[in-house]
Amino acid sequence: MSRKSKGINAERELIHLFWANGWSACRVAGSGSTKYPSPDVLAGNNVRKLAIECKVTKDIRQYFTAKEIHELQQFSKIFGAEPWVGVKFNNVDWYFLTMEDLGGTGEGHSVTLKNAKMKGFMFKELVGTLQGTW
């Protein structure tokens, strides 16, 4: 399966998780290829709106470009949504990180599995159906 197909499948799986937990969610068309900033997934309920940039990796590290993060923040600020990045580590699970928790590098941002486990939110924590232990 191509990298793109894997990404789309992972996004569809995430959409399903949202609906199964009482949220609306959808994939955004042409994310990354239109002239306007756009996230990969938009999810919402009556209280919160989430804009999510999604990646799937078989590695233990995932990279986001500075442009991806800037556009995610720009879209979210105008739309009125919380900006999140979501990384699906193969054979592990989804982890979601806030902008503050993204590990910064000079030109972009990387998320390691270790950092994701330490700082990231699992899906149930993201949608607030599981109380965190912090």
Query: Residue from 23, 84, 89, 121 that binds a second copy (CB under 8 A)?
Result: 23
Expressed in angstroms, the distance from the first to the final Cα of the chain is 38
Q: Using CA atoms, how far apart are residues 30 and 53, in angstroms rounded to an integer?
A: 13
Strand arrangement of the beta sheet that strand 49-57 belongs to: 41-44, 49-57, 82-89, 94-97
Query: Residue from 1, 5, 29, 106 that binds a second copy (CB under 8 A)?
Result: 29
Region binding a second copy by CB under 8 A among candidate stretches 16-24, 89-97, 100-108, 121-129 = 16-24
Matching residue, tokens 């042409």: 30
Binding residues with a second copy: total (CB under 8 A): 31
1 contributes a contact to a second copy by CB under 8 A = no
25 contributes a contact to a second copy by CB under 8 A = yes
6 contributes a contact to a second copy by CB under 8 A = no
Region binding a second copy by CB under 8 A among candidate stretches 54-62, 76-84, 88-96, 102-110 = 76-84
Centre a 10 Å sphere on the Cβ of residue 23 and count the other Cβ atoms it contains.
18
Task: Identify the H or E element spanning 16.
Answer: helix 3-20
Q: Which two tokens stand for residue 75?
A: 């879209």
Query: Residue from 22, 58, 100, 132 that binds a second copy (CB under 8 A)?
Result: 22
Q: Point out the catalytic residue in the list 2, 5, 24, 31.
A: 31
Centre a 10 Å sphere on the Cβ of residue 109 and count the other Cβ atoms it contains.
19
List contacts with a second copy (CB under 8 A).
Answer: 12, 15, 19, 22-31, 34, 36-39, 42-47, 49, 75-76, 78-81
Q: Which residues are catalytic?
A: 31
